[in-house]
Every structure is written in structure tokens, then in C-alpha cells.
Homo-oligomer: A and B are copies of this chain.
Amino acid sequence: MVKITQPHIDKREHLINEAIELFAEKGFEGTSIRDLATRAGVNIAMVNYYFGSKEKLFEAIVAKKASHMRGVLDIILANKALTEIEKLDAIIEGYVTRFFAYPTFHRVLQQELLVSSRDHMHETIIELFIRNTKDVVGIIQKGIKSGVFKKVDPELTFASIIGTLNQVLSSAMMCNKLMNKPKDYNPYDNPQFKKRLITHIQCVVHALLLK
């Protein structure tokens, strides 16, 4: 007898992945559990069975995926062989690579940053951002103190890095219009576009910081 349903190794993970796609497209409130259950091919009750509630599913999503950039940052920060500007270059590449690998997830995070009604979730995401911000700001400040960097605004410089990336990530349709690609094209699958973005942000940081 042939199995009709896919052999999901971990149904929890499958639900999380499908939820990210739906949340990114329709938003958290705009996505119903029935939408999700249908799309994931499971019963309506399974979401509450696995996660307890819709909101806890959201927390599970954040808990599972949001801390990845921490590891990347820690490795770069611990690398004594890198100069400050090389660290920043590596961080930029790390961010773009990560965001391009999971564009829908980071769209969900951005949505939650904009919507402040789910207080706990909002603060959790901000905490993550703040820690990363302080690390990058620290590198910039160190470079300024040692005289390698010009005296810029460290916090807003990081805002420019992440902001540029988020701007590109916020709407695929907009990217496609600007690149004359068809409407349903996925710009985040395009390695040339990814390279172009990395180069641009690095250029911005170089121009702003290096004397």
C-alpha cells in the first residue's frame, strides 16, 4: 500500500516551516489555523496538540530560527586574525547570506517588529536585535578609537546595514520591478543579486568608515 502523505521526519518542524511561509505572506493574524492545517496536510487540532496555541507556535518559530546569527557573530568576533573592517565585511556577508537563505522567516520577524501588540514576542525579538547591534557597534567604536575609522554614528551605521538588507527583503515584487524580472520571480534565489547586495553594503560601510 502506498502512503499518501509525505514521510515527515518531524511533523513539528514541518508545521513550523509551513507556518513561516504563511505568516510571511498573510501575517500572523491574517493566517488561520485552518489555513495552516490545510497547507501542511494535517488536522486542525494538530497545531494545538504540538504547540499548545497559535501564539506558542509563533514563539516556537522564533526560538528555533532566530538565534542563528548569534553563532555567526560569535565566530567572527572571536577571530583575532581579522581587522575591524574585515570583521564588518564578514558580518555583512553573514547577514545577507542568512537573510537570503530564509527570506520568509526574516519577513515574519520584521512584521513582528512593526506590530507591537504581542508584547512578549515584540520584546524577545528586540532583545535579539539589540545584542547583535551592540556587538557591531562595539567593533565600529573600537575602530574609531584606534583611529582606523572615521568618526561616524555607530548605531545608525548598523541601522544602515540592516536597513538596506531589510528594505531589499521586504518586498520581492519591488525587487523584481527594479530588476525588470517577472512578477513571480524569486530574487532571493539569484546569487548574482545576492553578491550585488553584499558588495553594495560593504561599499557603503567602506566609504563611510575608511579614511
Contact = CB atoms under 8 A, between A and B. Distances in A.
B116 A171 contact: yes
Contact of A204 (B25, B117, B155, B208): B208
Contacts of A29: 26-27, 29-30
Contacts of A116: 25, 171-173
Interface residues of A, number: 51
Contacts of A199: 153
Q: Give how many copies assemble into the complex.
A: 2
Chain B CB count within 10 A is highest, among A28, A114, A152, A177, for: A114
Interface stretch (A46-54, A57-65, A156-164): A156-164
Interface of A: 24-30, 107, 110-111, 113-117, 122-123, 126, 129-130, 133, 152-153, 155-157, 159-160, 162-168, 170-174, 177-178, 196-197, 199-201, 203-204, 207-208
11 contacts: A27-B28, A27-B117, A107-B114, A110-B170, A116-B172, A116-B173, A123-B173, A130-B174, A153-B196, A156-B200, A207-B207
